[in-house]
Amino acid sequence: MREAEAERRRKAAAVIEEVEQRFSTPTALLRGIADAMVEEMERGLRADPHAPLKMLISYVDNLPTGDEHGLFYALDLGGTNFRVIRVQLGGREKRVVSQQYEEVAIPPHLMVGTSMELFDFIAAELESFVKTEGEDFHLPEGRQRELGFTFSFPVHQTSISSGTLIKWTKGFSINGTVGEDVVAELSRAMERQGLDMKVTALVNDTVGTLAGGRYVDNDVVAAVILGTGTNAAYVEHANAIPKWTGLLPRSGDMVINMEWGNFKSETLPRSEYDSVLDFESLNPGEQIYEKMISGMYLGEIVRRILLKLAHDASLFGDVVPPKLEQRFVLRTPDMSAMHHDTSHDLKHLGAKLKDILGVADTSLEARYITLHVCDLVAERGAHLAAAGIYGILKKLGRDSVPSDGSQKQRTVIALDGGLYEHYKKFRTCLEATLTDLLGDDAASSVVVKLANDGSGIGAALLAASHSQYASVE
């Protein structure tokens, strides 16, 4: 009996040791990943057809300054819900005078219906929202209402207010919209509703977060979303974009939507768990970086390691819990709850294992091993995300102290997304790793801050900074 137990422990130790080796991210490796990120950013900006990073030109060359005033609307369509937002802006002194929003669930049949049905439904909701405008909101005489449209699906942007749909994702499958201009579709639907409103900005949610962040803090140069998925956008010098062929914008700047979830590189510390997760996913070979760092996948990587431990080392008893075989049964919020258990006998973690996997009584050893696995997976994810941010700072030349003794520039990264906001150990680890990569001197002028729900209001702010009336004032 004792020998069997010793053998089981040996097997568990062997699995853990292999995971520790494969998931290891020493600082030198993270620097290599950041360099690879810079290299891939440059390839994407040259329009190299094989570049994994698309580095999409957003056509946003005027970020909000804080001087914007007037009434602006936003529509945020990114999943099974959409929200309609209105803000009254009062210029530099008053900022956001008032804001209101409504969230609307999209009926499931419309997610797989026709383009016209979906956009008519949205326009009708928008129209009834406009009707509830109270006295806090004022539209100057003779002006058209203006709207910023956050559309979180892959789009080929053709101007600040037009873009064609590349493909639907997230459970939407609508015939006829792919290859069409989504702004034209929405505008036609608003016309059919008799709603006089002009879409002045079509924005990706990450670009919206960047705009919302910049409105609050002028030193924001990049936005990173770490939620179910992950992405980043940043402000690039327009003359550093070889694929830009038009006139250089007056501001000299251009916001780039990196679509960084698709980053891939030989430097990434991928394990067998990552390879199989990718192979069994809906999009094999794509979004490799996202599958290692985002909320959709962290819990699933933990599940796969626990399954291996259950098979090889009977971690949860002689029978492998059937629920542990189910893909995506362990969600990242549950992983986070287990990871933050500070009780001496890990009773909360044990309760989670019981709820999710149906294992009634786990040994203390099994609970501590589970905690360690959560730690390894979250830590690797946070390290890799920090390396990506460090890569953006390197690309912008903001990763070091000026050598000529000139004043250090303050640099702010706006972060949004539930993973960063709610998973405290992930957040703390990411911030400490970024400081480590920058070194104390450079890190003292880099600030990472939560830009909560930048994307909703961000689109309204971009509608304001790209308003048809902006040059009149």
pLDDT digits (tens, 9 = 90+) for 125-141: 999 999 998 887 888 88
At 220 the pLDDT is 96
pLDDT tops 90 at residue 423: yes
Q: How far apart are CA 159 and CA 433, in angstroms?
A: 37
Computed over every residue of the chain, the mean pLDDT equals 92
Has residue 51 been placed in a domain? Answer: no
3-state secondary structure the chain: CHHHHHHHHHHHHHHHHHHHHHCCCCHHHHHHHHHHHHHHHHHHHCCCCCCCCCCEECCCCCCCCCCCEEEEEEEEECCCEEEEEEEEEEHHHHCEEEEEEEEEECCHHHHCCEHHHHHHHHHHHHHHHHHCCCCCCCCCCCCCEEEEEEECCCEEEEECCEEEECCCCCCCCCECCECCEHHHHHHHHHHHHCCCEEEEEEECHHHHHHHHHHHHCCCEEEEEEECCCEEEEEEEEHHHCCCCCCCCCCCCEEEEECCHHHCCCCCCCCCHHHHHHHHCCCCCCCCCCHHHHCHHHHHHHHHHHHHHHHHHHCCCCCCCCHHHHCCCCCCHHHHHHHHCCCCCCCHHHHHHHHHHHCCCCCCHHHHHHHHHHHHHHHHHHHHHHHHHHHHHHHHCCCCCCCCCCCCCCCEEEEEECHHHHHCHHHHHHHHHHHHHHHHHHHHCCEEEEECCCHHHHHHHHHHHHCCCCCCCC
Active site residue 441: no
Rg (CA), the chain: 24
Q: Is there a domain that residue 117 lies in?
A: yes
Contacts of 390 by beta carbon, 8 Å cutoff, 6+ apart = 30, 31, 34, 399, 434, 437, 438
- 289 in a structural domain: no
User: Do the domain assignments include residue 56?
Assistant: no
Residue 169 counted as domain residue: yes
Q: So what's the pLDDT on residue 453?
A: 61
Closest to 447 in 3D by CA, of 115, 219, 258: 219
Asked if residue 53 is part of any domain, the answer here is no
Cα 247 versus chain centre, distance: 30
Q: Is residue 342 part of a domain?
A: no
Distance CA(201)–CA(149), nearest Å, equals: 6
The string of pLDDT tens digits covering residues 252-280 is: 999 999 999 999 999 999 999 999 999 99
Give CA separation, 467 vs 67, 148, 256, 420, 460, in Å. 13, 10, 20, 32, 10
d(CA 36, CA 247): 30
pLDDT category of residue 471 using cuts at 50, 70 and 90: low
In the annotation, is 440 catalytic? Answer: no
Q: Judge whether 467 and 208 are in contact, CB under 8 Å.
A: no
pLDDT at 402 over 90: no
Average pLDDT over residues 114-128: 94
Could you give the percent of the chain with pLDDT greater than 90?
Answer: 73
Domain limits at 186? Answer: 61-216+453-463
Tens of pLDDT, residue by residue over 373-389, are: 999 999 999 999 999 99
For residue 320, is it within any domain?
Answer: no
Domain count, the chain: 1
Which backbone phi and psi does 299 adopt, to 5 degrees?
-65, -35
* CATH code (residue 166): 3.30.420.40
**Catalytic residue from among 170, 243, 347, 354:** 170
The reported pLDDT for the residue numbered 81 is 83
pLDDT of residue 467: 87
pLDDT of residue 373: 98
> Residue 472 pLDDT > 70, yes or no?
no
Instruction: Tell me how far CA of residue 231 lies from CA of 139, 289, 326, 401, in angstroms.
Output: 35, 10, 28, 27
> Which contacts qualify for 337-341: CB closer than 8 Å, 24 or more apart?
338/370, 338/371, 338/374, 339/371, 339/374, 339/375, 339/378, 339/423, 339/425, 340/424, 340/425, 341/371
Read off the pLDDT of residues 431-463 as tens digits, 9 standing for 90 and up: 999 999 999 999 999 999 998 765 578 999 999
pLDDT digits (tens, 9 = 90+) for 235-254: 999 999 999 988 888 889 99
Predicted confidence at residue 473, as pLDDT, reads: 46
Q: What is the mean pLDDT of residues 63-87?
A: 89
Predicted TM-score (pTM) of the model is 0.92
Q: Which residue among the candidates 61, 76, 120, 205 is catalytic per the annotation?
A: 205
Task: Please count the other Cβ atoms lying within 10 Å of the Cβ belonging to residue 230.
Answer: 28
